[in-house]
Amino acid sequence: MELYEFTVHELAEKLEKKEITSEEITKSYFKRIKERDEKIKAYVSTLEEDAIKKAKEIDKARKEGKKLGKYAGIPIGIKDNMCIDGTKTTCSSKMLENFVAPYNATVIEKLNKEDIIYLGKLNMDEFAMGGSTEYSAFFKTSNPWDLDRVPGGSSGGSAAAVASDMAPWALGSDTGGSIRQPSSLCGVVGLKPTYGLVSRYGLVAFASSLDQIGPITKDVEDSAILLSLISGHDEKDTTSADIDAKDYTKALINDVKGMKIGIPKEYLGEGINKEVKEAILEVAKKYEEMGATIEECSLDVGKYATAVYYIIACAEASSNLGRFDGIRYGYRTKNFKNLNDIYRNSRSEGFGPEVKRRIILGTYVLSSGYYDAYYKKAQKVRTIIKEAYDELFDKYDLLLTPTSPTTAFKKGEKSNNPLEMYLADICTVPVNIAGLPGISVPCKLDSQGLPIGFQLIAKPFAEETLLRAAYTYEQNTNFRENKPTFKGGNN
């Protein structure tokens, strides 16, 4: 077995026993990246030289018996919208193609303290806007299970890299499903923490009230480990919750007896693929077998979530992306005679069509005369959706839904139909609207050999419940025996 095939907790164990070195692990990943990334195209940039240098340092320190973190010397892939001091942070946009971050994101600071090694920066939909990674300004990423299909998005590079063993784990960001949906489409585990659990400082903002950083991993245990490393209050982010970092692996108990799981019927109805629906019902049955109670419930207001999402997310994005004006950094047009030309042409040339679409939409809903009808109303509905979830969580520990209404779709299938692309988020978006934690866990392959994922949703800051239930499922099933086939890719 190659080193790149192991999970992080397995690698950590081997490191501790001194069976392997960090240098060997790191080199194994770069070897794998060289073999596979030509086809997958998950990485926007790699940091091989720095990574190997750092790995050697850590091996030396370990040899000298210095006190190191449990995961010191383990590499990671980072979605290209998180700042690492001195490296390019492009957001897969022409606008930031040559932007070198002058500071570290808080999650990077935390990982630095643990001596984690960076393999490189991972592809995404431009500024995290999209559900297929096709909106990357640089190139499309392929799904390892079928290279003609999308890996999902926006954290498609992160999910594809983990699924194809080009990273043992990765960080993604999730605004409306951008961690969970690609994780589902690529057959890996993706966790979107409660809004405020992980600091957003250094994450290039798409929609500030919805964005959350989270782990994309091979299994639930790694997810719990990575969450433990990156969470906790940050004074640089006033929206981060006043909660200390904790060890989420303690929640990994193989037992769901007595847990109450609700299945909102709206998420098994219209628009959900038949095979996906069946898979979810099988998961429900499995939970029942393992001792949980399953009950159908309803989240009627959930149907407004997508509308609310596109109003709020676009409104915030239209303002957040104003700073990309060609003045201080980023792309500047060569074609200008005056200040207005600089603004208009830099932004017209620097942003891709989906980003522009959302900026225009967001600008519109905030405009005077429309604010009350759109933005203000969306905020009211947002509160109603939150309250509906609160009510459900009075009754249930968890909610079970599909992560994505379909399995991975073909490249080009939806990229020219934005509305259809937006519907790919229907199962994940309500969770961001309400600020809840959600996890996507792979459960089976569909008839075409494509992964299906289920989503568990918990009340705010109940990540432990979420992880425990996901872990129990994983321990009692065997999805990880399936490996991506890397088929297709000839057209």
Partner 1 sequence: MSRDDYEVVIGLEVHCELSTKTKIFCSCPTEFGGEPNTHCCPICMAMPGTLPVLNEKVVEYAVKAGLATNCKISQNSKNDRKNYFYPDLPKAYQISQYDMPLCYEGYVTIDTEDTEKKIRLTRIHIEEDAGKLNHDEYGRGSFVDLNRAGVPLIEIVSEPDLRSSKEVDSYIRKLKSILEYIEVSDCKMQEGSLRADVNVSVRKKGSKEFGTRTEMKNMSSFRSIVRAIDYEAERQIDILENGGVIEQETLRWDDISGKTFSMRNKEDAQDYRYFPDPDLVAIKLSDEYIENIRKTLPELPESRIKRYIADFELTEKAAKFVTASKYYSNMFEEAIKECNNPKAVSNWIMSDVARILNEEDKEPDEIPFTGKDLGELVSLIDKGTISTAIAKKVLEEMFKNPEVPSKIIEAKGWVQISDEGAIKEVVMQVLEANPQSVADYKAGKDKALGFLVGQAMKATKGKANPQMLNKMFLEELKK
For partner 1, the binding residues (CB under 8 A) are 81-83, 89, 91, 96, 99, 101-103, 105, 200-205, 207-209, 235-239, 315-316, 318-319, 322-325, 327-329, 339, 343, 363, 366-368, 371, 375
* Cβ distance to partner 1 smaller for residue 138 or 329: 329
Strand-pairing partners, residue 457, are 399, 438
Pairing state between β 438-445 and 117-122: unpaired
In 3D space, the residue among 13, 8, 456 whose CA is nearest the CA of residue 228 turns out to be: 8
- What's the closest the beta carbon of residue 169 comes to partner 1, in angstroms? 21
Shortest reach from residue 159's CB to partner 1, in Å: 21
Smallest gap from Cβ 90 to partner 1, in A, equals 10
Question: Closest approach of Cβ 315 to partner 1, in Å?
Answer: 6
Q: E-strand spans in 9-146?
A: 43-46, 75-79, 117-122
Identify which of 301, 261, 295, 300 has the alpha carbon closest to the alpha carbon of residue 400: 261
Fill in the amino acid letter for 400.
L
Q: How far apart are the two ends of the chain, measured CA to CA in Å? A: 31
> What is the rounded (10 degree) CA torsion for 401, 407, 413, 415?
50
Task: Give which of 177, 82, 185, 79 is closest to 124, Cα–Cα.
Answer: 79
- Helix, strand and coil in the chain, % to nearest 5: 45, 15, 40
Q: How far is the CB of 437 from partner 1 (least distance, A)?
A: 19
Place of tokens 């792979």: 442
Contact call for residues 59 and 65 (beta carbons, < 8 A): no
Count CB-CB contacts under 10 A for residue 464: 18
Degrees, nearest 5: CA angle 42-48-50: 130
Between 42 and 204, CB nearer to partner 1: 204
DSSP-derived secondary structure letter, 453: E
Alpha carbons 222 and 134: distance in angstroms, whole number: 28
Q: How far is the CB of 209 from partner 1 (least distance, A)?
A: 4
Please give the structure tokens belonging to residue 81. Answer: 């919208």
Specify the residue, 61 or 100, whose C-beta has the smaller distance to partner 1: 100
Structure tokens at 225: 């480990």
Q: What's the token pair of residue 51?
A: 């990574």
Let me know: does 263 contact 298? Beta carbons within 8 Å. Answer: no
In the bound state with partner 1, the residue whose beta carbon lies nearer, of 343 and 486, is 343
Count Cβ atoms within 10 A of the Cβ of residue 448 and give its class: 0-12 exposed, 13-18 middle, 19 or more buried: exposed
**Minimum distance from residue 212 beta carbon to partner 1 (Å):** 13
Residue whose C-alpha is closest to residue 458's, from 429, 434, 423: 434
Tokens read off for 376: 């203000």
Least Å distance between CB 97 and partner 1? 13
Cβ closer to partner 1: 252 or 385?
385
Q: Pick between residue 34 and residue 323 the one whose CB is nearest to partner 1.
A: 323
Strands (E), 180-259: 189-192, 212-217
Residue closer to partner 1 by CB (options 330, 437) is: 330
Would you say 368 or 478 has its CB closer to partner 1? 368
**Catalytic residue set:** 79, 154, 178
Of 88 and 468, CB closest to partner 1: 88
Burial class (CB in 10 A: 0-12, 13-18, 19+), 432: buried
| Cα 490 from chain centre | 28
Residue whose entry in the numeric block shows the structure tokens 């129990």: 472
- Min dist. Cβ of residue 117 to partner 1 (A): 21
